[in-house]
Amino acid sequence: MEIFWEDGFTIKVRVDDGKTVVISANREGLLSLARQLTDMANEEDGCHIHYDEYNSLEDDSSEMIIEKIE
């Protein structure tokens, strides 16, 4: 699956209290995530995207993996 990003996107993920996931994003980040989730919905089960500070998230973000299931 090809992943597209809106220019100027910003996304940060953190885990509060060890159980609450908080995703903070600007408009471009939200549009990018929305497109990626929509595209993923049309992929086969097991398709997944890794998000981390090395490829898409802001520094000090928690890693996030989104996976399509049946």
How do residues 24-57 score in pLDDT, each as one tens digit?
A: 999 999 999 999 999 999 999 999 999 999 989 9
E strand or H helix that includes residue 33: helix 27-41
Q: Tens digit of pLDDT for each residue in 3-25?
A: 999 999 999 999 999 899 999 99
Contact in structure between 9 and 24 (CB atoms under 8 Å): no
Coil, helix or strand for 23?
Answer: strand
- The confidence band for 1, taking pLDDT boundaries of 50, 70 and 90, is confident
The domain limits of the chain are 11-67
Q: Under the phi-then-psi rule, with left for phi > 0, alpha for psi from -120 to 50, and beta for the rest, what region is 53?
A: alpha
